[in-house]
Amino acid sequence: MGTYNIPRNYGGETRILYIFSVKSLITTALGIAIGGIFYIIFKMVLLEKIGIGFLIFFGVLGYIIGALKIPTIAGLPITKKIGGEPIFEIIIRYFKYKRNKKIYTYTNTKEEE
């Protein structure tokens, strides 16, 4: 009997430099770009160390938004509905809601036995 390779659906989430997916690398770069603006402003007023702090802060914030998922915590009722979803998708859904004042979500109505 032969063996067959079954393709896996990575959904565009290949890893770069082990910790970065494509999405987290892009959001980290955007965070560093925003922090770079603050760095330039603070460097002009001779507060370079504060500018570096902003650069690091926004870079880490960009990574968190792009890479992490909301954990499911039994004690918090809101995490039962959004647990396991990436933070990036929750932010996108929030902005769509603010724009349209409607939100559409799909839930699994089947009961597991």
List, for residues 67-97, the tens digit of each pLDDT value: 888 777 777 777 777 777 888 888 888 888 8
Where are the domains positioned within the chain? 10-68, 70-107
pLDDT for res 49:
92
pTM of the predicted protein model: 0.65
- How far is the C-alpha of 73 from the C-alpha of 92, rounded, in Å? 22
CA dihedral 90, 91, 92, 98 (to 10 degrees): 110
